[in-house]
Each structure stands twice: as structure tokens, then as C-alpha cells.
Amino acid sequence: MQINPSSNRCGSSDPKVIACLKQAEVFFQDKPKKLTPARRRVLEILLAHGGVLSAYQILDRLKSDGKAAHPADAYRALDFLIEYKFVHKVGHLSAFVAYTRPHATHTTFFMICRKCDNVAEAASPDTNDMLEKVASEAGFLVKQQVLEAFGICTDCQDDAGTSANT
Amino acid sequence: MQINPSSNRCGSSDPKVIACLKQAEVFFQDKPKKLTPARRRVLEILLAHGGVLSAYQILDRLKSDGKAAHPADAYRALDFLIEYKFVHKVGHLSAFVAYTRPHATHTTFFMICRKCDNVAEAASPDTNDMLEKVASEAGFLVKQQVLEAFGICTDCQDDAGTSANT
DNA sequence: ATTTGATATGTTATACTATATCAATCGAAA
DNA sequence: TTTCGATTGATATAGTATAACATATCAAAT
């Protein structure tokens, strides 16, 4: 088995993953809070996976890196990454997913497949504006929006139509 | 202390609560699945409370009704009520809230106050349609939408401006 | 009336998710 | 170098949710 010669430890060599990590690194360059190796690794795990992962699935991957890891290690990193909008928590799944779009100013709309748990993102600024408007008409001061859709992704629809039935 | 002579066991006598319960009763009248006393009681608890409650908070209230109650009692009732759209689970809080609007055809937009945990509902069919459109353009088949906003409700904004500071 | 099948509840145990707490470490600024 | 904040290590515990299996209920069909 050949080891990828790139600099990332044991993460994906997917260019998209690398690009997202790079973005995060740049973002934190001049910030007081830092993207430490532990935090970077959690982000990398999520990006490489592509879909949602539970905190304990992330923890398993951290453990398999070699050294001991505890729940708080995963949760602390996740809290941090969520705070800075590099990760989104899917409440209904108690699971986490990395943003792949450029560090969204707008709330991202997540489409979560009930079959494969993969997640598609879409920016939908109009929707955000509309909800914002509805809320402010009700006198409600919005701090955070959660837009999620659960259903079946394109791939899984195809699977159902062709051969697979699992 | 005077006991309200109405027929409801120990629930709220708030007309709105009673109306919502009545609606649910009517809805299940001719269905194969039934709004049993246990399920009705959980709905009543949520309606009477007005805001979000965790499953174990509901469980505590069930216990204080007199007889033994176990986690599954609360979760089973909640699952049922969620399935028929009388209750919404707020994933990010691991908590539950009753719909007060008429058994919405459209997904309801929930505004959850971070100070008091009370929940305001708004119908926003345009938003739902818009998300539906975004999703189908992406080839995603939507089964359920979750629209939530976290922030500060009108009351708590007022509180902050006047005297309270807790 | 009884069998059957779907629905619902009772009960125990356990799995999964998340946070609190306190000690130790590290790094930059005073 | 001291001090302060930020980060990590480690243990314990709190909180959330489901599995599994037994029991009960009730209505429809025989």
C-alpha cells in the first residue's frame, strides 16, 4: 500500500477537503482563538467523511489515530468549529457535518438523506431573508437559523430505481 | 384552593389548550391509531406548558400524576404525536413542543427564545415552497422540513430594557 | 365465544449523547 | 518570570433515547 506523500497526516487527499482545511487555517491565522491540531483534525475527519458523524464516531476516529481520546476532546473541538461556522450540528440526528461552502455568511440549507446520511448544502439567501422578515414582524430577534430538509438524495433515488434494494 | 370543575384531570383550563386537545381528539376519532389517555396526557402537558420540555421533564410530570412512568412511556407518546404532527422535536435542544396552530399542512416555522425557551410558531408557506424548490432543483426528494430560529422573543427583549436582568 | 392480528402498555436493562470538574500545560504579554 | 488566558488531559457523572420482551386490549373474522 502506497502512502500519499502529501503533508496531511492520515486524512483525505481529496483536493476539496484540502481546500476547505486551508480556508479554515487562513481564517484563524490572525484570530486570537487558534485552529489547533486537535481541532483541525476533527474538521478534517468531518470533511473527509462528507456526511454526518456522531461525536462518538468522531471520537473513534481520533482514537484510531493512536493516542487516547475522550468525549470532551471531540465535543470541545466541535463546539469550537460550530462557533466559527465550520461545522453544523444536525440536531435531529445528534450528529455533525462540516460546511464545504466558503464559510457562509448566510445560513446554509442542509439536505440530509435518510438512507445514506450524506448531506448536500445549498445557499438560500432568499429563504433566510424571508424567515428573518417573518421573525422580525413577530418581534423576534434572530440569532441563528436552522434550515434542514430530510429526505432522499439523488444517488439513493437512483439506487432504488436500478438494482439495489438494501 | 379551588378545583376547576371542568372534566380535564389536572391539566390547564386554558381555553386554547382545551381547544387544541379537542382538535386532536376529533382528528383521531376515525383513525385506526388512537389518541389514548397516555398520549393525550403528554400532549396536554406540552400544551399547558407552552414552551419546550425535555422528555424527562414530561416524564416527571407523568410521575407526579400518581402512577409509575418510564422513559419509554414518554418517548412512545412523543413519537406518536410527532408522527401525526401534533408535536415538534427541537433537535438542538433535545426537547419537544406542541403545535398550537391547526394541525399544519405546511411545515411550521418555530422561533425559540434562548432566554425563556418559549416557542412562537409561524406559518410560512412561501418559505416552505422556496426550500422545496431549491431541493428539487438539486434532485433531492424532501420528506420533512425543519425551520427553526433561535434568538430572543419579544417579552425577553422588553425585560432586558426595563428592570429585570436575570 | 373464541381465535387472530394489530395496537398499545409495562418493565427492565442498556446504549448513546453530552457536560461538569479539576488538574496540568502552554504561550504570549506585562 | 510572573501572570493570565486559552487549551488539553482525565475522570466522573448527568442527561437522552432505544432495545427487547412480556403483557394487555380490543375489534374483526370465523
How would DSSP label each residue in B70-112?
A: -HHHHHHHHHHHHHTTSEEEEGGGTEEEE--SSS-SSPEEEEE
A6 touches chain B (CB under 8 A): no
Q: How far apart are alpha carbons A67 and A77 in whole angstroms? A: 16
User: Residue B108: its pLDDT value, please?
Assistant: 87
Whether the per-residue pLDDT at A74 is higher than 90: the answer is: yes
User: Residue B9: its pLDDT value, please?
Assistant: 47
Q: What is the DSSP letter of B11?
A: S
Cα end-to-end span (Å), chain B: 31
User: Residue B119: its pLDDT value, please?
Assistant: 87
User: Residue B160: its pLDDT value, please?
Assistant: 62
**Nucleotides on strand C lying under 7 Å from protein C-beta:** 6-14, 16-21
Q: What's the pLDDT tens digit per position in A31-61?
A: 889 999 999 999 999 999 999 999 999 999 9
User: Residue B60: its pLDDT value, please?
Assistant: 97
Q: How far apart are alpha carbons A66 and A74 in whole angstroms? A: 15
User: Residue A104: its pLDDT value, please?
Assistant: 67
The whole-number Å distance from B74's CA to D15's C1' is 15
- A159 or B14: which leads in pLDDT: B14
3-class SS at B2? Answer: coil
* Residue B104, strand partner residues: none
Q: What's the pLDDT tens digit per position in B107-147?
A: 889 999 988 878 899 988 889 999 999 999 999 999 889 99
Contact A146 B148 (CB under 8 A): yes
Q: Which of B141, B149, B154 sits opposite A145 (nearest CB)?
A: B149
User: Residue B104: its pLDDT value, please?
Assistant: 67
**Antiparallel, parallel or unpaired: β A141-152 and B141-152:** antiparallel
B145 touches chain A (CB under 8 A): yes
C-alpha cell at B89: 422535536
A73 Cβ contacts chain D strand, under 7 Å: yes
Whether the per-residue pLDDT at A118 is higher than 90: the answer is: no
CA atoms within 13 A on the CB side of A139: 8
The whole-number Å distance from A85's CA to C23's C1' is 31
Among residues A93, A95, A70, the alpha carbon closest in space to that of A82 is found at: A95
CA distance B1 to chain A (A): 37
User: Residue B83: its pLDDT value, please?
Assistant: 94
Report pTM.
0.87
Whether the per-residue pLDDT at A116 is higher than 60: the answer is: yes
The whole-number Å distance from B44's CA to D28's C1' is 32
- B35 or B1: which leads in pLDDT: B35
User: Residue A33: its pLDDT value, please?
Assistant: 92
Mean pLDDT within B95-102:
90
A118 touches chain B (CB under 8 A): no
The whole-number Å distance from B102's CA to C21's C1' is 46
Q: How far apart are alpha carbons B163 and B2 in whole angstroms? A: 33
Mean pLDDT within B5-25:
75
Whether the per-residue pLDDT at A8 is higher than 70: the answer is: no
Mean pLDDT within B13-27:
93
Contact A127 B131 (CB under 8 A): yes
B9 touches chain A (CB under 8 A): no
